[in-house]
């Protein structure tokens, strides 16, 4: 891609135009997203859970992969911002009848859509759309292939900041199927950008990406060693749908070695947070007593997902509108 991720995502004034990846975004901007999300937390506690920031704007949810939690929280976030929301049923859409992705999106743009929330199995698909198809429509990446899931990472960062107050000095362990996890890649980038002391990856070799140290993380193969002196534990599910071949002897063996139980949790610092981006597979990556225990903040992550998605949607729309008004937008590229 001729543009860097940063250039594509930001306006000339450094505002969000699209939210595609954590890669390329600096600490100040990530902190601004967290601060904005913090300001939206109380909206969910009101009797009438609405603010008018996106009134009159149209948000289209484009999920080319199954999703429950992410899609529903994006829909709730858009509605709490007072936007009109269209959920496109991909199974019955024109793309299933042979129409190209570009043509489908251009037709949606012609209906005066202002924002696309997009999940796609192909890494880089939201970048392609933002760069080459509809650059004047705000694009929010809801997960692309094995690449990134930036809003999930930011809701995780908000949850950590709420409980730990600061990122400085923290040791964070990410456990499980890192190789196939777009969430993990976004988490590692966000944690390092926000200044944690150390990011650890705990997994067998078959579930680690190529050259994991290059991502900015330290690798461990044993839970006893990897969890020692850790302040935050983020568990990942096994991404069977993205695995090619048998990478594990069995789920029971994985649970024995890498499942988070009360006994293994004791290796971490007292009061260490237990997190999981969901969906949870109890008895595969985490014990029910831990998932429901006093150190778990998993349900808080879900609540924070709405506030974070409200933040990135409102910030991206604001950046798009300011760019159009200043006349610096690029318009619609030829396809």
Asked if residue 119 belongs to a known ligand binding site, the reply is yes
Residue 302's H or E segment, with its range, is: helix 298-326
**Is 32 annotated for ligand binding?**
no
210 annotated as belonging to a binding site for a ligand: no
Please check if 228 is assigned to a binding site.
Answer: no
Kind of pairing between the strands at 273-275 and 232-235: parallel
Provide Rg for the chain, Cα atoms: 20
CA distance 43 to 46: 5
User: How large is the greatest C-alpha to C-alpha distance in the chain, in angstroms?
Assistant: 59
Does residue 149 have a known ligand-binding role?
yes
On whether 240 is known to bind a ligand per the annotation, the reply is no
DSSP secondary structure code for residue 53 in this structure: T
Phi, psi for residue 15 in degrees, rounded to 5: -90, 160
With a CB cutoff of 8 Å and minimum separation 6, the contacts of 128 are none
Residue 179's contacts (CB-CB under 8 Å, 6 or more residues apart) are: 146, 203, 206, 207, 208, 209, 247
Question: In the numeric block, which tokens belong to residue 230?
Answer: 């850790």
**Residues contributing to the annotated binding site for carbamoyl phosphate:** 69-70, 119, 149, 152, 278-279
**Residues contributing to the annotated binding site:** 69-70, 97, 119, 149, 152, 182, 237, 278-279
**Residues contributing to the annotated binding site for L-aspartate:** 97, 182, 237
């Amino acid at each position: 891609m001729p543009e860097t991720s940063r250039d594509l995502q930001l306006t000339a004034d450094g505002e969000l135009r699209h939210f595609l990846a954590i890669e390329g975004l600096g600490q100040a901007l990530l902190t601004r997203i967290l601060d904005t999300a913090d300001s939206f937390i109380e909206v969910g506690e009101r009797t009438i859970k609405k603010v008018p920031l996106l009134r009159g704007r149209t948000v289209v949810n484009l999920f080319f992969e199954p999703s429950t939690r992410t899609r529903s929280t994006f829909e709730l976030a858009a509605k709490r911002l007072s936007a009109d929301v269209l959920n496109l049923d991909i199974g019955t859409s024109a793309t299933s009848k042979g129409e190209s992705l570009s043509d489908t999106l251009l037709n949606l743009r012609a209906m005066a859509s202002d924002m696309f929330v997009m999940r796609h199995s192909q890494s880089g698909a939201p970048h392609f759309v933002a760069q080459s198809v509809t650059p004047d429509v705000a694009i929010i990446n809801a997960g692309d292939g094995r690449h990134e899931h930036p809003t999930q990472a930011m809701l995780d960062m908000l949850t950590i900041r709420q409980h730990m107050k600061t990122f400085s000095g923290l040791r964070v362990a990410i456990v499980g199927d890192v190789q196939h996890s777009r969430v993990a890649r976004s988490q590692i980038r966000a944690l390092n950008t926000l200044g944690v002391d150390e990011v650890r990856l705990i997994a067998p070799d078959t579930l680690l990406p190529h050259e994991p140290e290059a991502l900015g993380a330290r690798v461990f193969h044993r839970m006893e060693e990897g969890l020692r002196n850790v302040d935050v534990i983020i568990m990942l599910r096994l991404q069977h749908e993205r695995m090619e071949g048998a990478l594990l002897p069995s789920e029971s063996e994985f649970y024995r070695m890498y499942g988070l139980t009360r006994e293994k949790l004791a290796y971490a610092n007292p009061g260490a947070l237990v997190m999981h981006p969901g969906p949870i597979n109890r008895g595969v990556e985490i014990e029910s007593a831990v998932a429901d225990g006093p150190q778990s903040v998993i349900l808080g992550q879900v609540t924070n997902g709405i506030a974070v998605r409200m933040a990135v949607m409102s910030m991206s729309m604001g950046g798009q509108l300011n760019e159009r008004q200043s006349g610096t937008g690029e318009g619609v590229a030829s396809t």
